[in-house]
Amino acid sequence: MPSARQATALHELSVPEAGALLRSGELTSVELTRHALDRIARLDPALHAFILVTERTALERAEAADRDLRAGTDRGPMHGIPYALKDIFDAEGVPTTNASWLRTGDVARTDSTVERRLRAGGAVGLGKLTTFEFAVGGPSFDLPVPPARNPWSEEHVPSGSSSGSGAAVAAGLTRVTIGSDTSGSTRGPAFHCGAVGLKPTYGRVSGHGAQTLSRTLDHFGPLTWTVADAAAALQVIAGADPADPRTAGAPLDDWTAALGRGVAGLRVATSPGWYADDPLTMPEITTGIERALGVLGGHGASVEEVTLPPYDVFNACGRVVFAAEAFAVHQDDLRRHPRSFGRYTYQRVMPGAGIAAADYLRAMDVRRWLKRQLDETVFDRHDVLVTVCGQTTAARWSDFPENWPPPKLANDMQTIPFSVTGHPALSLPIGFAADGLPIGLQIVGRAHDEATVFRVAEVLEAELGERHRRPQGIDIDHTGGNS
């Protein structure tokens, strides 16, 4: 009987599967890393998922990971596992460009907290991933790097702003990426690229050493191929950080141990008013969510419909907060170097200049009210909310006009509400639409209860996730070869 390694191409091994082989000596981190680097060299010229590949340091870190394991030192669930960072996170000695002409010469002097924890955990950094400029903007051609492509279709965008993360994971260039999510920047690319994207609870993961976009909306988390991969990554990067006061008091959990516990007895809420009753939602997405709810019921969970506050209220509140805070971050450069910004970035950030302090404070009051409403409506009586993540499959490049926002994207994603409230939210793939592109849903949990979100996601992934299916035209080898 073939071993797990012989039966599966290395990029198809989950983090736990690869970790078991590393610890048994059947696989080395150097082999795993070389495999990833070979795929990047072969496939990324057409995808533009990576801004920079750090091949030499990756192999050095892989060799160190192998030495540690041979010496009996195990640094945790990501030990020896390759990953890549969205190019807003600092890694010492490596440029952090933010995909902007304003930052092309910036080389990080220290590690971000996320990078430091991954390094301490024995993980192997492959390089930096493409992003929208400053994690905002759009898929622009007026930046120092080309935009990432969607591996499922060259005619469609991978969403953003963690665009390179979605493309890299879908194409099997790496299992694990770390991105940011301010209004859906991890969940959106996961949804449109058929991957798993987690926005943890606000403050769960430190943003120290990462580019700020909106101080009270920014979240940081993994975009991966499977739920187990995401749990392993979160286990390493989460935790309080004296350098980031937003992380104070965030209790830790053993998220990898939560897997395998099933959903029997869990109480699941759903909000058909946000998808089934909205004519903008593709029928396949509504059907997919209903099918997922049936799966959960079949596994012993109870399902109840709830009525949430209108999405437009969350959206309006979030956009005021976002605009005011994003302008505050970039106002000096906007005044001194306005022509150095990409067109989409400028158009998205400048409106914040017109937001009065009274309007911002009023939006923050509404925000607190919305969080109370969500807790009282859902989480006082239910363990999770299963709802829509996006209403349509990925946009076409031709959908992007001269000015922001593209009409098709104006109401496309239902991710902003949980950035506003700070609850953990995970985008999970649940199949494909008639156009052959991925679709998914969103699982939302109580604050600091990512464990239950993972439990629900794992059950749905096993029945609906189609993790064996990769983009056509991407060379997938299930025979154990080196492709």
Amino acid letter for position 27: L
Adjacency order of strands within the sheet including 302-305:
50-53, 124-129, 82-86, 176-181, 219-224, 196-199, 425-432, 438-445, 384-387, 267-270, 302-305
Contact, 82 vs 121, CB < 8 A? no
Query: What phi, psi does 319 have (nearest 5°)?
Result: -70, -35
Catalytic residue among 86, 128, 199, 371: 86
Catalytic residue among 161, 163, 214, 419: 161
Neighbour count for residue 226 (Cβ, 10 Å): 24
Task: State how far the Cα of 280 lies from the Cα of 275, in Å rounded to an integer.
Answer: 8
Helices assigned H by DSSP within 337-449 = 343-349, 357-374, 416-421
Burial tier of 154 (Cβ tally within 10 Å: 0-12, 13-18, 19+)? exposed
| Tokens standing for residue 170 | 């879908």
Coil, strand, or helix at residue 176?
strand
Catalytic-residue membership of 3: no
Catalytic-residue membership of 199: no
| Tokens standing for residue 262 | 């099933």
Catalytic residue among 159, 185, 271, 427: 185
Contact, 185 vs 99, CB < 8 A? no
Catalytic-residue membership of 185: yes
Residue positions annotated with a catalytic role? 86, 161, 185
